[in-house]
Amino acid sequence: MMKRWSWCGAFFVLASCVSSRPIDRPLDLPYTFIFEGRFDDVWKAATAVLENYTITVANRDAGLLQTDWENQRFNPDLYEHPEITPQLEEVRSRLKLKLSKARTNDTGRPAVRVQISKEFEIFKNFYSDWERSPTDGFEEQVVLYRIHQNLKLVVMKKKKSLGAKPAKENSKEDTGDKEEDSSSDE
């Protein structure tokens, strides 16, 4: 009998800890990522990602980028949403990016913190007008991912334009080992 009650008690405790839905993310909490690199390079990568939007604010000195209101849940030119199909509905959204200069703790190299928030609103009715609603976070994460990929391209183009050699050749020169091309001797 005691075993039975202990099993019932254990089941009750475990069942009460399970929630039916995840906790909503606060509306004003931005998605953040710290990119290692120069501010100019990250700015260039971020503006390249936002080419699919209409940018209304681009203040490089303040590190602010903001898009115009779009009358859709997400930008279908940027990505294809896995769960939501584009449809006509009374919604609007815009993105705000804040870029801040920083330095990494371990190496002291320059870094840039990028914070992105999406304002998503649903039109309720004539009396209450637009009401802010939480986002699913897909678009913000896609934009951060694309900034990371574009930053890699910006850095590679910069190295190529400066005439930098690939990493393998640089490491051979640093150690003093130089390989001679055996095919040119023949």
CATH number for position 114: 3.30.530
Residue 76 lies in a domain: yes
Residue 182 lies in a domain: no
Q: Which of 85, 92, 91, 93 is nearest to 140 (CA)?
A: 93
Count of helices and strands (H, E) across the chain? 4, 6
Residue 172 lies in a domain: no
**How many structural domains is the chain composed of?**
1
Spans in the chain with pLDDT lower than 70: 1-23, 76-77, 79-88, 164-186
Residue 20 lies in a domain: no
Tell me the Cα Rg of the chain: 25
Residue 10 lies in a domain: no
The answer to whether residues 78 and 51 touch, using CB atoms and an 8 Å cutoff, is no
Residue 6 lies in a domain: no
The answer to whether residues 118 and 95 touch, using CB atoms and an 8 Å cutoff, is yes
105-132 residue pLDDT tens: 889 999 999 999 999 888 887 777 888 8
pLDDT of residue 143: 93
**Would you tell me how many other CB atoms lie within 10 Å of the CB of residue 96?**
15
pLDDT of residue 138: 86
Q: In the block, which residue shows the tokens 């637009």? A: 130
Residue 16 lies in a domain: no
Q: Which of 116, 137, 110 is nearest to 22 (CA)?
A: 137
**Domain span including residue 107:** 25-162
pLDDT of residue 28: 80
